Amino acid sequence: MLHFDVAIVGGGPGGSTVGALIRKYMPALSVAIIEREAFPREHVGESQLPPVGRVLHDMGAWDKVEAANFIVKLGANYTWGKQTEPWLFGFVSNDQIRDEPRPARYEGWRQKVAFQVDRASYDDILLRHSAELGCQVLQPVGVREVVHADDEIRELRLDDGRVVTAKHYVDASGDAAVIRRALGVKVDVPTALQNVAFWEYWQKPGLNSSLLETRTIRILIRSLPYGWLWYIALDENRSSVGLVTPAEYFQKSGKSPEALYHESVKLEQSVNRLLAEAAPDGKVRARKDWSFVSERGHGRNWFLVGEALGFADPILSAGMALTHTCAQHCAYLIMELERGEHERDWLLKHYDTIQLKRIRQHIKFADYWYSGNGFFSAIEENCARIAAEAGLKMTPEAAFRWLSNGGIDDDLGAGSTGGVNVSGLRALQWRMGHESEGPVTYNIDGKTHFKLRMEGAELTHLPLPLEGRIHKVPAWQREQQVLPMIGGYKLVFDALQTSPLAADFMNALQRAISGNPAAKALHQAALECLEWMVVNGWVKTSQQRGKPALRMQTPKEGQILRSAE
């Protein structure tokens, strides 16, 4: 029998992240990672979002991942929404991008972008990193049985006859969900979005040369009448190309996965041109991409991480970001339980609340994307059903309120989700046809008075994982709405204490950020947080003739979101 402080089922990014962080910050704890497959092994999910970089840096793996020379992802190139021409979304503006030698450090503009990775290599790097930090990797061996009673795991029986016991158990086994299924944890499917994905890998010398910008790239998303294609460049010569379509459409088509997939690749002209003379590897893979979320993320001595906890449609490339950030939170939670300095119930409640909410938020965002795509002529009825079941009214204000319900806080205090901030959401609404042909508008634009509305709100605390510890961040809560006192929200809250006048607010904000090297970014973030606070009822606005008004606009054609031309 083998005993550890922490036993992790699954050696993918979720399991490696949990293990590496625990060993980095609390090396006295013994950690086992149980992985059924031999690495390196193929896996889908190659396109990432910027939050992944922060976690890699935190777990000490950034330099190793960067040294692998994976392609740097700047954003995405879409055909989606009400326009037929491609448009671009970027994590950073073009003037911030530098053509610099690699490997590079995690600093400057590289903190704001992401990677496109070969998962066989990427996952292997992370698992080896966790082993170097002291995790005992049991591989390749699967878990044959999870022995449990009264919502508590007693032991894990492995395929090779060994038995593992631990103080804490983590299910990072992805779609297999070894612990979740064994303990009968129910899942909810809060969307009509039920897709299947088919993909293959293509190769030829110089395949992606035309797409590379200063050794960086954007994922290509191309709409079809019945779904969409992804084109993810893995290096200069090789790409992952996949089709996502509703399961119902695929079943009614009567076609095999291979036939529908290759028909789709030929149908989309830009992808077909890119793949001219390229060779597929001859194996069309398939899986269902059905969004779901577990009813809870923990039990007496166990936790769910990543896809074992929930899954959101891949249109936003959120899978790896959700997995890494969830695993980071789980690692910090386990360490704080060991320290015993925070209330156990508070730690556990917020783990479930935050992680389940993030998954649901990305599912909502995916619903919005699908319901707003005018390309989906063959599945228009399906998209209408998605919008109806989600309760989405196709007006700018209702759509934004629906999307931001409870806050859009992938980064606590920053007001963003899926790599898209408030300004990005407003611009996307125009792209997807939920607004008129007029300018991208804001509730705060043209207003002269801003007054905090704190009636019925109670002061509480949110967890902030940072440098190996969970810190308590003050926050105001009113029903399901939470206003964190950190980042842009705190700047706005403090500035509004001075006066309701827009001019006084702006002066107070300017004084608060004066001298800060990131003053320009903080100013923009604060205004975006103010917009969110207005939409969700934390701030009341009004206009008075003759008084200076606050102005905020986003051009339809800007550095972050613009037509491809």
Reported as a single tens digit per residue, the pLDDT across 510-532 is 999 999 998 988 998 899 899 98
Give the Cα separation of 412 and 428 in Å (integer). 22
- What number is the average pLDDT over the span 7-26? 98
Instruction: Give the 3-state DSSP-derived string for 424-489, with helices as H, strands as E and coil as C.
Output: HHHHHHHHCCCCCCCCECCCCCCCCEEEECCCCCEEEEEEEEECCEEEEEEEEEECCEEEECCHHH
Task: Give the span between the Cα atoms of 250 and 196, in whole angstroms.
Answer: 8
Sequence-distant (≥ 6) Cβ neighbours of residue 252 within 8 angstroms: none
Instruction: Please report the pLDDT score of residue 401 as a whole number.
Output: 63
Which of 107-121, 405-419, 537-551 shows the lowest mean pLDDT across its residues? 405-419
Residue 564, number of CB atoms within 10 A of its CB: 11
Tell me the mean pLDDT in the region 86-98: 86
- Answer whether residue 406 shows pLDDT above 60: no
Confidence at 535, pLDDT banded by 50, 70, 90: confident
Which pLDDT does position 125 carry in this prediction?
A: 98
Provide the pLDDT for residue 402: 61
In 3D space, the residue among 404, 492, 420, 423 whose CA is nearest the CA of residue 451 turns out to be 492
pLDDT, position 559? 74
pLDDT, residue 458, reads 96
Q: Which of 188, 190, 185 is nearest to 173 (CA)?
A: 185
Q: What angle do CA 332, 335, 340 make, to 5 degrees?
A: 120
Q: Going by C-beta distance under 8 Å and a sequence separation of 6 or more, which residues neighbour residue 78?
A: 86, 87, 88, 89, 221, 222, 223
> What's the confidence (pLDDT) of residue 510?
96
Identify the CA nearest to 425 among candidates 492, 479, 480, 364: 364
pLDDT tens track for 17-44: 999 999 999 999 999 999 999 999 999 9
Beta bridge partners of 143: 158
Specify the residue for token string 């010569």: 237
CB 113 within 8 A of CB 149: no
**Is 475 within 8 Å of 482 (Cβ atoms)?**
yes
Give the CATH fold of the 194-289 domain: D-Amino Acid Oxidase; Chain A, domain 2 (3.30.9)
Give per-residue pLDDT as tens, 287-308. Answer: 988 899 999 999 999 999 999 9
pLDDT above 80 for 174: yes
| Residue bearing tokens 């699954």 | 10
Query: If you average pLDDT over every residue of the chain, what do you get?
Result: 91
Please tell me the class of the 2-70+117-190+292-359 domain: alpha beta
For the chain, counts of helices (H) and of strands (E): 16, 27
Give 133-148 as a DSSP string.
Answer: TT-EEETT--EEEEEE
Which of 46-60, 213-227, 394-408, 414-428 shows the lowest mean pLDDT across its residues? 394-408
Across the range 141-156, mean pLDDT stands at 98
pLDDT digits (tens, 9 = 90+) for 198-207: 999 999 999 9
Residue with tokens 């599945």: 379
Choose between 58 and 100: higher pLDDT. 58
Indicate if the pLDDT at residue 194 is higher than 80.
yes
- d(CA 493, CA 509) in angstroms, rounded, equals 10
Domain ranges, ordered by start, for the chain? 2-70+117-190+292-359, 194-289, 393-558
Q: What is the pLDDT of residue 213?
A: 73
- What does 279-296 look like in DSSP terms, one character per residue? EE-S--EEEEEE-EEES-
CA 311: distance to chain centroid?
A: 10
The model's pTM = 0.94
Angle at 136 between CA 174 and CA 180, to 5 degrees: 25
Q: Would you state the structure tokens that stand for residue 163, as one six-digit string?
A: 């038995």
Q: Is the dihedral of CA 124, 125, 126, 129 positive or negative?
A: positive
pLDDT grade for 91, boundaries at 50, 70 and 90? confident
Burial class (CB in 10 A: 0-12, 13-18, 19+), 69: exposed
The residues, ordered by sequence, that sit 6+ positions from 43 with a Cβ below 8 Å of its Cβ are 12, 119, 120, 123
Give yes or no for residue 475 having a pLDDT over 80: yes
Cβ contact 404:389 at 8 Å: no
- In angstroms, the Cα distances linking 14 to 66, 127, 137, 229, 307 are 19, 10, 14, 26, 9
Q: pLDDT band for position 405 (50/70/90)?
A: low
Strand partners, 78: 87, 221
Which of 60-69, 79-88, 118-127, 505-514 is the least confident region?
A: 79-88
Mean pLDDT to the nearest integer, 438-444 = 78
Q: Which amino acid is at 204?
A: K
Task: Tell me the per-residue pLDDT of 234-260, one tens digit each, with 9 for 90 and over.
Answer: 999 999 999 999 999 999 999 999 999
